[in-house]
């Protein structure tokens, strides 16, 4: 029997994604983002959150999804990856669900246009509701983390 994990559910377009709660530090409304030159296009810049400078990544851009205008529902999910804080811009962050780790299947090669290496797996929440679990270590691969760490200074 697998362990129970709590997962924050967020949306990009019509797809629902999940990040384990213990990796999420806070969920914020969209706030002014300071652009940083010479970064990847999906790195939107940095925010100052309670005195901490945090790089912000547009997950749509990261996954080569079409950009959309921010709405009232747009959120920045602040996650901790390898002792570094990073903000992910998502279309909305809806709820927290309990998952059994056994319910997470290996990801197919591509889900909604996103390559499998960015995905930890796909969890079936109900007959018609799938949750795509992100592999945060790959979403922020090492060379990008090195570049983002430079932004924090």
Q: How far apart are CA 86 and CA 128, in angstroms?
A: 31
In this prediction, residues 88-114 reach a mean pLDDT of 82
The parent domain of residue 133 ranges over 4-152
The CATH number linked to 122 is 2.40.50.180
Q: How far apart are CA 133 and CA 122, in angstroms?
A: 6
| 58 three-class SS | strand
Q: Cα separations (Å) of 71 from 55, 61, 90?
A: 20, 16, 10
Sign of CA dihedral 108, 5, 93, 129: positive
Cβ neighbours around 101 below 10 Å, total: 14
pLDDT of residue 108 exceeding 90: no
Q: Do residues 60 and 89 lie in contact, with contact meaning Cβ atoms separated by under 8 Å?
A: yes
Residue range 4-59, pLDDT digits in tens: 999 999 999 888 999 999 999 999 999 999 998 888 888 899 999 999 999 999 99
Instruction: State how many domains the chain has.
Output: 1
What's the pLDDT at 142? 58
Cβ neighbours around 41 below 10 Å, total: 9
Question: pTM for this structure?
Answer: 0.86
């Amino acid at each position: 029997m697998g362990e129970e994990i709590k997962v924050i559910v967020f949306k990009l377009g019509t797809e629902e994604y999940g990040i384990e709660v213990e990796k999420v530090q806070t969920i914020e409304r969209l706030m002014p983002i300071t652009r940083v030159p010479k970064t990847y296009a999906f790195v939107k810049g940095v925010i100052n959150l309670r005195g901490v400078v945090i790089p912000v990544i547009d997950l749509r851009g990261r996954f080569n999804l079409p950009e959309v205008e921010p709405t009232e529902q747009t959120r920045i999910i602040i996650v901790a990856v390898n002792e570094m804080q990073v903000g992910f811009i998502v279309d909305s962050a809806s709820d927290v669900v309990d998952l059994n780790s056994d319910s997470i299947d290996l990801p197919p090669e591509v889900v909604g246009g996103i390559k499998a290496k960015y995905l930890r797996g796909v969890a079936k929440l109900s007959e018609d509701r799938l949750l795509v679990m992100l592999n945060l270590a790959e979403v922020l691969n090492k060379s990008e983390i090195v570049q983002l760490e430079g932004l924090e200074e």
